[in-house]
Amino acid sequence: MTETPKNTKKLYVKTYGCQMNVYDSERMVEALGGQGYEETKTPDDADMILLNTCHIREKAAEKVYSELGRFKGLKAANPDLKIGVAGCVAQAEGEEIIRRQPMVDLVVGPQSYHRLPAMEQAVGEGRKALDTEFPDDDKFDTLRKRAKTKRGPTAFLTVQEGCDKFCAFCVVPYTRGAEVSRPADRIIREAQELVEAGVKEITLLGQNVNAYHGHDGGLAGLIWALDKVDGLERIRFTTSHPNDMDDALIEAHGTCDKLMPYLHLPVQSGSNSILKAMNRKHTRDEYFRLIERIRAARPDLLLSGDFIVGFPGETEADFEDTMDLIREVHYGQAYSFKYSTRPGTPAAEKPQLPDDVMDDRLQRLQTLLRDQQRATQDAMVGRTVKVLFEKAGREAGQMIGKSEYLHAVFAPCEDVAVGDLREVEVTTSATNSLGGRLV
Ligand code: 5AD
Ligand code: SF4
């Protein structure tokens, strides 16, 4: 009998930021699998530590340096321990990371992590490895194929990267580069592989996912192509820009059964003058009209958004416009942030608002959004939802999964297995979840 070779080295990956980083981390683990690494959940016994970083808001780089400081002891105890920084802070800081923290062996940007195996080898030979290029070769082509091993019922799949929108506050166009769409055939193949490994729900990812243009008909065309993948039950996508919500995509929300009734559609502000200063390229009325059309196509769709308070120049009246927009639209879920200066972005040049003004506005905004989220959840009580069960709940005899609307739902688990899609009648609503019983 031949023995399967075992991975012997341990890799600890810590992921910050968005879902695209979660996806990238998975692919990095797979890439380093070819170098004999297996993922471990703790840095203590790791042969390699990789921080996959996020640069979207302030102090990101400082957090990375202080996190690195915590690994000093481990490096002292094991000089062979390899330490790497990946992601958007790596892209933005580059060599500076190794200068400030010489125990870092490897710095790799989000567009070049397919080169990790060679970089790991260079580090093994005693060299430092730095790669923050935007290479011409397709990273996804070079990466190892997705593992055939059984996996959970949900997965992310990156279909588009980068952003050409240049919102005045945002570093993404600089850290992730120009908009690039992956070819549809590769995406469909990857989706099939994921389904073969047990995946039932795929969330298509992109910084500007609805600007996807790798398939006829754009993102809607890709969704319809994925709709034909047998065994794939649910499709989601995130994050979208209002200006890229084309007719076909809106229509798909009404006609494609596999496309879930949930849409993350950030507006950032409800004030026309702030929207203009942010370079969002649409007005509040245009956003309202868009929401109307989306809701006409799919009346029960749960809407989610992102908001920034305290953008330079935001007056109390501008802020009230944002509050008014939120009341008008009614969000089932939302993320909100204090404006944070990002060096190199156009807004960084403008005078900043006092912190206490921003704090006060953020608190008012979050109270309103929290109330809307809770009201949306409470309105689910008595309704029957379809839950894709993902894991055991904290309490004995319980399983947890997600409804079509992305609500976490707990239910008693007799004869329910991970990956089952079952109807659940919602009976209770708690802060961040729903409870129910199988129908
Ligand atoms: N300050 C605060 N929030 C920001 N975001 C992006 N850049 C900044 C910034 N400089 C928020 C936006 C975006 C989300 C991913 O992060 O709301 O939609
Ligand atoms: Fe940043 Fe705007 Fe692009 Fe979103 S659309 S990634 S906020 S520049």
What is the value of pTM for the model shown?
Answer: 0.92
Query: Which letter does DSSP use for residue 379 in this model?
Result: T
| Parts of the chain with a pLDDT under 70 | 1-7, 136-137, 147-148
The domain at 9-131 falls in which architecture? 3-Layer(aba) Sandwich (3.40)
Q: Which CATH topology does 384-438 take?
A: OB fold (Dihydrolipoamide Acetyltransferase, E2P) (2.40.50)
Q: How far is the CA of 404 from the centre of ligand 1 (A)?
A: 26
The whole-number pLDDT of residue 7 equals: 65
Q: How many percent of the chain have pLDDT more than 90?
A: 86
Q: Label residues 304-332 b or e (16+ Cβ within 10 Å = b).
A: bbebbbbbbbbeeebbebbbebbeebebb
The whole-number pLDDT of residue 3 equals: 44
**Minimum-distance ligand to the CA of 307?**
1
The whole-number pLDDT of residue 303 equals: 98
Angle between helices 247-255 and 284-297 (to 10 degrees): 30
Three-class DSSP category at 257: coil
Ligand 1, atom 6, residue with closest C-alpha: 170
CB atoms within 10 A of CB 185: 11
Quick check: 438 and 411 in contact, CB under 8 A? yes
CA–CA dist 243, 222 (Å, integer):
18
Domains of the chain, residue spans? 9-131, 145-260, 384-438
| Number of the ligand 2 atom closest to the C-alpha atom of 280 | 2
18 is in an annotated binding site: yes
Quick check: 286 and 326 in contact, CB under 8 A? no
Q: Could you tell me which CATH number the domain at 145-260 has?
A: 3.30.750.210
Which residues, other chains included, contact 212 with Cβ-Cβ below 8 Å and sequence gap of 6+?
159, 160, 181, 204, 206, 218, 219, 222
The whole-number pLDDT of residue 151 equals: 87
**Minimum-distance ligand to the CA of 172?**
2
Average pLDDT, the chain: 94
Query: Do the strands 398-402 and 384-392 form a parallel or antiparallel pair, or are they unpaired?
Result: antiparallel
> How is 195-251 classified by DSSP, letter by letter?
HHTT--EEEEE-TTGGG--SSTTHHHHHHHHHHTSTT--EEEEE---GGG--HHHHH
Q: How far is the CA of 436 from the centre of ligand 1 (A)?
A: 35
Ligand 1: residues whose CB is within 6 Å?
56-57, 169-170, 266, 268, 306, 308, 337, 339-340, 342
